[in-house]
Structure 1
Amino acid sequence: MSGPHRKAAITGVALSDCGRIDDATPYALHAQAARRALADAGLGPQSVDGFASAGLGTLAPAEVAEYLGLRPRWVDSTAVGGATWEVMAAHAADAVAAGHARAVLLVYGSTARADIRAGRRTANLSFGARGPLQYEVPYGHTLIAKYAMAARRHMHEYGTTLDQLAQVAVAARANAARNPEAMFRDPIGVDDVLAGPVIADPFTRLHCCLRSDGGAAVLIVAEDLVPDCAGRPVWLLGSGTYVSHTTMSQWDDFTLSPAAVSGRSAFERAGVGPDEIDIAEIYDAFTYMTLVTLEDLGFCAKGEGGAFVGKGRLRHDGALPTNTDGGGLSAQHPGMRGLFLLVEAVRQLRGEAGGHQVYRPDGSPPALAVASGTGGWFCSSGTVVLGRD
């Protein structure tokens, strides 16, 4: 189909070098990931007429597009934290469907770890805050503390335990152990998670994501361009977005994430349910983030997330393999990690995940995946359902 209402597929994905990168700029990581994704798709930069980027440059994404030598006719610079890339993927699919673009490149790169080590930035996102955030900053209400408060509320309301939250970190590390690109691969147990230093009660260090450098890129194309691509297509079947709050006093329920809205929309538009999903790629800046997002996407009932994440269910050979690369808790987390979720989901659906590939009982790769990104402190959510058929 060449006119409006075209379907959209991902035909190219890639990561830049990730982990400890002390000698590269964010621009260089953008370029490296972009070149690799285009090579994966078998297309040149001249094919790209849509571009999406956030978080870098005075005139994002124009400055990054210029650095990459692109002149796009459709652009997106939506910035809603970790959910940015799933939201951008939804926008790109809409642009493809409407005929506004034929090949949209989503690119991200960050030297967050290197910048903090070199004193070029602070780890506190609230530093120098203006607007509504200024009323929370004087009380030392950091991003980690906001997630910790939400976790404590879930524990109070539903009896969720520290052991159950720790199971999320243990499963992520077990998945990372199979991924040679993951930063941390040594096995950990629940006792290791609980014994670590407290960062923000109830979170110890291993309840929190690591900090890395790295970048990622995803190429979304119209269905009529798929035959020209070398990469096997993974189709965007449905998407949903939602913005909840920024000020904690405006959050109605600390146990309900915005994925409850974005997920419902994505599944309805895709025409599938959570029970049909083979793998889940969930933004996991903190263990509670994974648990509550799984609840709100409908994989279990509200309040049952603690029991759901146990018994190895989230491991590569579990009932719902989740964050199959090790996630932000063990693989890599250079900042707004949502684009990494899409890269991993596509690799898994193609059967190209190497040593950490997940297989269905019949020996085939996963057929359906959900990627759900969360931004801020449960402020925003973007959910995308992907399928290889």
Structure 2
Amino acid sequence: MQTLAQVGEPAIEVPNGASVPAYYALLASRYLHETGLDADALAEFAVLMRRHAGGHPDAHLREPMTRENALAAKWIAAPLRLSDCCPISDGAVAVVVSAEPGAGTPVRIAGAGQAHRHQHLSAMDSVMNSGAADAARRAFAEAACTVGDIDLLAIYDSFTITLVMLLEELGIAPRGRAIDRLRVGDFGVDGALPLNTHGGLLAFGHSGVAGGLMHLAEASRQLAGRAGERQIAPKTRALFHADGGVLSSHVSLILETA
């Protein structure tokens, strides 16, 4: 944890003792202030990820969690509770990219984009514009499609606030309204736009780089029809997005069935 905290700016942020959850708590506080969203709403994303992880045999946290359970969790860095934070998990994953199609429906990388707007939280201009949208625009342009063509989401979720902010910056929902899409069921496995069907970092687990890459592996499996008993209804195009640092570096990929 001490090593992870070194992502902070070395002259001011790190000497003041901030942890990674504290950095994201600062983001959450500002986001909640600007949108007017109640902090308790974040818990609903934790509950959704736990529900999705419950069906995955390799997930770290598979026990059911209710909204009440999530809100009863201890504070880590207000307004973030333990339920808002991903676990530190062991794990590994590999993705093979080949010119030859694999088993199931062929899946290809149709577009890719990255953006690096700032390095440290104190240099971030706005919590509403971290650079995620820049990465996504490049990926969508290369894939010759728009966010309206996406029917599966694999979005980085180190904290509930990470997930909410990225969903909105990527254009999946207007500012402050990602919670509305969750509440009508859009992000469920049977919804219009299934989100992190393996449970994401918040429940499947976070094992460093492998944790984020698992989102890509899960999206590929679902598109290829290779998810076994967890297979959702057929999808044709997925948006994968991951970030590094404190919303510092962003990578978007568009996957589509061939």
Q: Specify if TM > 0.5.
A: yes
- Cα pair 2:107 2:255 within 8 Å, conserved: yes
1:173 aligns with 2:42: no
SS at match of 2:217: helix
Alignment of 1:75-94 (within 5 A): none
SS at match of 1:216: coil
- Cα pair 1:172 1:315 within 8 Å, conserved: no
Kindly state the Cα deviation for residue 338 of structure 1 after the two structures are TM-superposed.
Answer: 2.1
Measure, in 2, the Cα distance between the counterparts of 1:367 and 1:329. Answer: 25
Measure, in 2, the Cα distance between the counterparts of 1:157 and 1:230. Answer: 46
Alignment of 1:366-377 (within 5 A): 366-377=235-246
1:309 aligns with 2:182: yes
For residue 251 of structure 2, what is the amino acid of its counterpart? Answer: G
The structure with the larger Rg is 1
Cα gap change, 1:169 to 1:144, in 2 (>3 Å): same
Kindly state the Cα deviation for residue 123 of structure 1 after the two structures are TM-superposed.
Answer: 4.8
Kindly state the Cα deviation for residue 381 of structure 1 after the two structures are TM-superposed.
Answer: 0.5
Kindly state the Cα deviation for residue 220 of structure 1 after the two structures are TM-superposed.
Answer: 1.4
Alignment of 1:61-72 (within 5 A): none
Aligned with 1:326 (options 168, 179, 199)? 199
Aligned twin of 1:142:
19
Aligned twin of 1:209:
86
Measure, in 1, the Cα distance between the counterparts of 2:68 and 2:129. Answer: 28
The runs of 5 or more residues in structure 1 that have no matched partner are 1-121, 360-364
Alignment of 1:252-267 (within 5 A): 252-267=125-140
Measure, in 1, the Cα distance between the counterparts of 2:117 and 2:153. Answer: 22
Alignment of 1:188-227 (within 5 A): 188-222=65-99, 226=100
Aligned twin of 1:278:
151
For residue 358 of structure 1, what is the amino acid of its counterpart? Answer: I
CA displacement, residues 116-166 of structure 1 (integer Å, 9 cap, x when unaligned): xxxxxx454135x79x42421121122111111111111101112223211
Moved over 6 A (4+): none
Aligned twin of 1:75:
none
Measure, in 1, the Cα distance between the counterparts of 2:5 and 2:159. Answer: 18
Aligned twin of 2:256:
387
1:348 aligns with 2:225: no
TM-score computed with the length of structure 2 as normaliser? 0.93
For residue 227 of structure 2, what is the amino acid of its counterpart? Answer: A
1:184 aligns with 2:57: no
Aligned residues: 257
Measure, in 1, the Cα distance between the counterparts of 2:89 and 2:128. Answer: 29
1:248 aligns with 2:121: yes
Aligned twin of 1:52:
none
Aligned twin of 1:14:
none
Cα gap change, 1:254 to 1:379, in 2 (>3 Å): same
Comparing 231-240 and 269-278, the one that deviates more = 231-240
Measure, in 2, the Cα distance between the counterparts of 1:312 and 1:151. Answer: 23
- Cα pair 1:165 1:287 within 8 Å, conserved: yes
Kindly state the Cα deviation for residue 232 of structure 1 after the two structures are TM-superposed.
Answer: 4.8
Aligned with 1:339 (options 188, 213, 218)? 213
For residue 329 of structure 1, what is the amino acid of its counterpart? Answer: L
Sequence identity (%):
38
TM-score computed with the length of structure 1 as normaliser? 0.63
Aligned with 1:296 (options 163, 169, 179)? 169
For residue 235 of structure 2, what is the amino acid of its counterpart? Answer: P
SS at match of 2:93: strand
1:357 aligns with 2:231: yes
Kindly state the Cα deviation for residue 302 of structure 1 after the two structures are TM-superposed.
Answer: 2.5
Alpha carbon RMSD of aligned pairs, Å? 1.8
For residue 125 of structure 1, what is the amino acid of its counterpart? Answer: L
Measure, in 1, the Cα distance between the counterparts of 2:98 and 2:83. Answer: 38
Measure, in 1, the Cα distance between the counterparts of 2:16 and 2:188. Answer: 38
SS at match of 1:139: coil
- Cα pair 1:239 1:383 within 8 Å, conserved: yes
